[in-house]
Chain A
Amino acid sequence: MLNYKKIFSLKPFDLIQKDKDKWYFRNQIMLYKHHYKKCEEYKKISDRIFKNINYCKASHELPFVHVKNFKEFNLKSVKTNQLSRTLESSGTSNQITSKINVDRKTSLLQSTALLKIFSDIVKKKINFFFADSPSTLSRLSTLTAKNAAIRGFSQLSKKSNYLFDNKNNLKLGELYNFLTKNPKEEFAIFGFTSQIWFHLIQQLKKKNIFLPKNNGILIHGGGWKKLQNQSVNRVFFNKNILNILGIKRIHNYYGMVEQIGSVFLECEHGFFHTSTFSEIYIRDHNLNLAPNQKTGLIQILSLLPLSYPGHNILTEDLGLIVGIDDCKCGRKGKYFLVLGRVPGTENRGCSDVHE
């Protein structure tokens, strides 16, 4: 099995790509063998549509699972009684959600990795303000990606606070209190990108509230789709946030419910970064690796998932690799941009239902 002690001992953004590749491949092969043995569906994918593992020389040749497969099947690599919970993606209405089976070990790995990645920007325990209501966390049986993130971040926080009450009304008392008492202390606000924009910012705007200049940082993730529909881009988003929340920095991250923990952190130059836990490939229309700067389908790898085959996933997101090892922020490895969803093709054919 993988030596997680070793993995967690590494600094998440310090490995240069050349040093990372072989090491990462060795770990991915171990994960491959584990899931191949334990997950019947993954074995079928591997046997039926990928080349023999013995011919694979690098991580990008290993069999991946298409992200849709998590919606179509209940994929797991442990026995059901070992699972601690099932996560569901926060799919919009009438979408089928992904089912992600997490056991204690995977869950622990995920929150440890999240901690590790964010300790790069949050150096010590600070106060966290979640742009959510406390009741979100109390729903225990099926958890969403958001829940898992809040849980992860709670471990980074000195004190967890919520910016909404259980009826989803804005509740700024605690934040005001904190800002009055400790105007110079660092703190973090966390929320899903769409929630930050459509709930927090819009409500503040409506009430004409501007927070005083402070030492806060905003951490947000979950995708831009809803915002893009209203032509809100990163620049506009950030400008508004800085202006209204008075904070000093904003960190977006790219990740998905299928790979909680090993998220890709956005640096101060606006690029997402791989960490020691993760890897990214961009695939062209022939599923070959696309050269840097060329847009293609995003494939993401993670060393964390043990209870389900989420270690190697082809997503339906489009992106491009900007460069390797040379981002101005100083982080090593690949850095990239996410450009949205691949457009759905028209469904054609006789057997398609009349609407």
Chain B
Amino acid sequence: MFMNKIKVVLGKLTFMSKTYKIFEISTINFLDEVSQKIIKNKKYSEYTDIITFAFFIRKKNLIKISKEYKNKDRMIGRGLAYHITPSNIPINFAYSLVFGLLSGNTNIVRLPSKNFIQINLLCDLFFRILKKKKYLELYKRICFIKYERSDEISSELSKKADIRLIWGGDETVNQFQKYATSPRCIDLKFANRYSISIIDVNKLAKLTDNNLKNIVNRFYNDSYTMDQKGCSSPQALIWIGKNNKKIKNKFFNILSEIADKKYDNDLAVTNNKISSLSLTAIKSEINFTSSHKNFNLIRIKLKKITKEIEKIHPHFGTFVEININNLDELNKIISQKLQTITYHGVDKKKIYYLVFKYGILGVDRIVPIGRALDIGVEWDGYDVIAALSRIIGK
């Protein structure tokens, strides 16, 4: 019996498939209460991912997001959402749940098997607030489970689901595609992605030292957080404009200094980095050269501008550099795999225009440098709320 092998961490595993209006008020109130508790309590302050999450679920922010949905009075959830969260990003399950709740669904969330402190902290907090009488109905919509990898359980849960949110990349997506679902079940699949950053060299050269440091610091947060392994972490730096070696070197020198101070560059990281760099060197079909002053920052230079760059991502602070003269050249490197473009000194509208002009399959997100990892309801090309809900036509 598969139910025995599931450990329920929070809520009850009832397979209830009831739906609710999107942005329904008790959900917003609950999330706001969670947010306030986090912001007021010092014990969460060291977890930047929890703090970012808390700001995302503030009532003010959620109301602002809800206003984007002009038809929200005719929109309702699809039923039972089954969330398969990645094993390595502690906070991902919380965002996934928020998406499931805001879109009016009942949720079964499979937590990573690893015991992340952030997950324990949030589960405790959720429970303390959910047990209040006013959230009786909401509590029924949340169930956190854990189980060892099991085809039986995953396939049984898939059968019952009205929506599946499959995080965790290509391998997980392929795995879950094997399980049968009901004909109307909708899958949100989060496959492996690739992200880049575009910087206008001339604009960069004009910045004051302080402003330059500020930009580099944001770039650091986008890339070195999570060892540059996030699907929206930039792997390549596209320099646009006249080749100005001096300003590029300055950019990287500052980046390396920041990494020296902040990045947990221990022998384990060094080992993984050199092993992954060797692997890339052997596997890559296009030629490249790499250089570093300090091993915490490796620059990879390509002679050719090609879509193959998406295969060069050794992580841990390794950046492929490409020079282009105008934005149109981007068309040569953007593939379907490209998710996020972070930019500085570039007109974002021109990138949109480019995507439309060439009918590009990639580019799901264009945000300023520093916001690469800010997950939101528009993610990976989905309007997540719209995708997880139904609209009652008129």
Contact = CB atoms under 8 A, between A and B. Distances in A.
Interface string A333-355: 00000000011111111111111
A316 B271 contact: yes
Contacts of B88: 346-349, 352
B267 A318 contact: yes
B226 to A, nearest CB: 4
A243 B168 CA distance: 53
B279 A68 contact: yes
Nearest to A67: B275
Contacts of B192: 350-351
Interface stretch (A41-49, A134-142, A206-214): A41-49
B172 to A, nearest CB: 5
Interface string A306-321: 0000000010101000
Contacts of B282: 41, 44-45, 69, 72-73
A114 B287 CA distance: 40
Given A41-B282, A351-B192, A355-B149, A285 B229 contact: no
A245 to B, nearest CB: 36
Contact of A355 (B89, B113, B231, B274): B113
A345 B227 contact: yes
A97 to B, nearest CB: 16
Interface string B269-296: 1111011011101101001111000111
Interface residues of A, number: 38
B168 A353 contact: yes
Contacts of A204: none
B169 A352 contact: yes
Given A44-B281, A66-B274, A66-B275, A354 B268 contact: no
Given A314-B274, A345-B269, A48 B288 contact: yes
B201 to A, nearest CB: 25
A286 interface: yes
A65 interface: yes
Contacts of B277: 49
Nearest to A69: B278
B295 A287 contact: yes
A296 interface: yes
Nearest to B225: A348
A354 B172 contact: yes
A297 interface: yes
Contacts of A66: 274-275, 278-279
Interface in A262-300: 283-288, 295-297
Interface in B145-184: 148-149, 167-172, 175
Contacts of B266: 285, 345
A342 B272 CA distance: 10
Max chain B Cβ within 10 angstroms of own Cβ: one of A45, A49, A66, A344: A49
A348 B169 CA distance: 12
Given A352-B88, A354-B110, A355-B113, A297 B271 contact: yes
Contacts of A347: 87-88, 229
A343 B268 contact: yes
A286 B295 contact: yes
A346 to B, nearest CB: 7
B193 interface: yes
Contacts of B278: 45, 49, 65-66, 68-69
A10 B336 CA distance: 60
Given A285-B266, A287-B295, A350 B227 contact: no
Most chain B CB neighbours (cut-off 10 Å) among A296, A314, A346, A350: A350
Interface of B: 84-89, 110, 112-114, 148-149, 167-172, 175, 190, 192-193, 226-227, 229-233, 265-272, 274-275, 277-279, 281-282, 284, 287-290, 294-296, 315
10 contacts: A49-B277, A66-B279, A68-B278, A69-B275, A285-B270, A296-B267, A345-B272, A349-B227, A353-B86, A354-B85
